[in-house]
Amino acid sequence: VYRDESVPLLFKEDFTSKGDDGSSKVAKDNCIYMDAMGFGMGCCCLQLTFQACNIEEARTLYDQLTPLCPIMVTAYRVFFHTYVTENFFNIRQLALTAASPFYRGYISDVDCRWSVISSSVDCRTQEERGLKPLKENKFKISKSRYDSIDSYLSRQGEKYNDVPLTYDDEIYKQLLENGIDHLLAQHIAHLFIRDSVSLFSEKVHQNDLEDTDHFELLWCQSLEVQNLRSRSEYNIQSTNWQTMRFKPPPPNSSIGWRVEFRPCEVQITDFENAAIVCFTVLLTRVILSYKLNLLIPISKVDQNMIRAQKRNAVKVEKFWFRHDITSDIKSDNTQSEFTINEIINGKNGIFPGLVPLVNSYLANMNVDADTHCTIQRYLKLIQKRASGELLTTAAWLRKEVTLHPEYKHDAVITQRINYDLLRKIHSIVSNDISCPELLGQCVSSKTTDTIPAAVAKAEKCSATNC
């Protein structure tokens, strides 16, 4: 819970008046009590799926985007009192897009949704958590099923897999015997250390050679690994919610190898969401075109995820990031701790900055004036959020509540505060009022639905070889 001046030194919710002594017994000191997975899985996020030209490019994107996940984390839904607000889609690379400060009518001391969702669906037993010796269970599992990834998939990333990976050895061996390489085999076998949490009756009986709903991992079915198939009656891939998801092509479809970028938090306005989507898409083009190497050890990514969820992390926290982005050397000298501002905007003589790299890429692209203007507005929003010139969504929401005349500095969001906040958000989204401290001055796009005449003519000439 957020520590304001009227919050008791020992904050603990008392549910006895509601006839629920059980909840009171398990509520932790100085924490907001949330007794159902809906408090986590009710959160929203903005997820981006990228099409790769082949499996190797998909592996590269999966690995190279992983260190960006803590920088950009994902989802926003604010829980107030006994009801929930409407969805506001907000993409956030965790610290940069922080937008989840409220839960169950209280102001929390975290900015991001990630740890809340992770805890809400953490179904590990005490044995799997390592609190008791393994007896009924098979594996000791270090993370919730909703957490950051545990291993890289490309050959370039293999040497950065510095955290022991738990996987089903029997499945791993079967995959190796059927031609799957070590890195991919251990990734799949790692997914199988958990059971699925959902099963749809109409999906139980399917032809695994024609449909991948059972598992969403095509290679397992196409290789006809019988023991895997018998266990894939539950959808394994879709109930392992990680920061990145590696998505193989579905059968009987033109869809190819894909990678899903999952950490971002939904913002309040379309302009903010478009800015973060555009920025992330351009980063993938920069990574592939310049053959950048952003890899850092998995253990450092885990550290960054923890730091990214702290209040005001975009201003006060530092994150491990690679500054030698053109070499394949694995050394402590290739990575340092940077602020979000330094990662996004650059640090003189040490790291160029992600936005300057994007601008360098755009300078060599044939982009029409209106589109270029729109992209620059998006990038300015990203840069100003990173530098602290503009507030993150979480910081703005917290400020609006704490300055409300009905707020009593007790971390409680009353129905009136909730209503007034939603009214103001609606007015901002509807462009009835401006909010320069959150969005800056220019929040409109100059891009139109029609292709500029010059571009259309050039494309027509290219198609006809004129």
The model's pLDDT over 196-248, given as tens digits with 9 standing for 90+, comes to 777 667 766 777 666 655 555 433 333 334 344 334 433 677 788 899 999 98
- pLDDT at residue 93, rounded to an integer: 46
Measured distance between the N- and C-terminal CA atoms of the chain, rounded to whole angstroms: 66
The model's pLDDT over 93-120, given as tens digits with 9 standing for 90+, comes to 456 888 889 999 999 998 888 889 898 9
The boundaries of the domain holding residue 65 are 38-82+89-148+246-463
Q: How far apart are CA 260 and CA 245, in angstroms?
A: 5
Q: How far apart are CA 316 and CA 63, in angstroms?
A: 27
Among residues 106, 111, 71, 32, the alpha carbon closest in space to that of 312 is found at 111
Q: Is residue 220 part of a domain?
A: no
Q: Is residue 445 part of a domain?
A: yes
Pairing verdict, β 258-261 and 319-322: unpaired
Torsion of CA 411, 414, 417, 421, to 10 degrees: 80
Q: Is residue 169 part of a domain?
A: no
Q: Is residue 156 part of a domain?
A: no
Q: Is residue 25 part of a domain?
A: no
The model's pLDDT over 50-90, given as tens digits with 9 standing for 90+, comes to 999 999 999 999 999 999 999 986 333 333 333 333 332 23
Query: What mean pLDDT, rounded, does the chain reach?
Result: 85
Q: Is residue 317 part of a domain?
A: yes
Tens-of-pLDDT digits for all 466 residues of the chain? 999 999 999 998 878 777 776 677 778 899 998 888 888 888 888 899 999 999 999 999 999 999 999 998 633 333 333 333 333 223 234 568 888 899 999 999 988 888 898 989 999 999 999 999 999 999 999 999 989 999 999 999 999 999 999 999 999 999 999 999 999 999 999 999 988 777 667 766 777 666 655 555 433 333 334 344 334 433 677 788 899 999 988 878 888 999 999 999 899 999 999 999 999 999 999 999 999 999 999 999 999 999 998 888 999 999 999 999 988 877 778 899 999 999 999 999 999 999 999 999 999 998 888 899 999 999 999 999 999 999 999 999 999 999 999 999 999 999 999 999 999 999 999 999 999 999 998 777 777 767 667 667 766 666 666 5
Q: Is residue 397 part of a domain?
A: yes
Orientation angle between helical segments 369-387 and 270-290, nearest 10 degrees:
100
How many domains, the chain?
Answer: 1
Q: Which two tokens stand for residue 376?
A: 């620059």
Q: Is residue 230 part of a domain?
A: no
Spatial neighbors of 364 by CB under 8 A, at least 6 apart, are: none
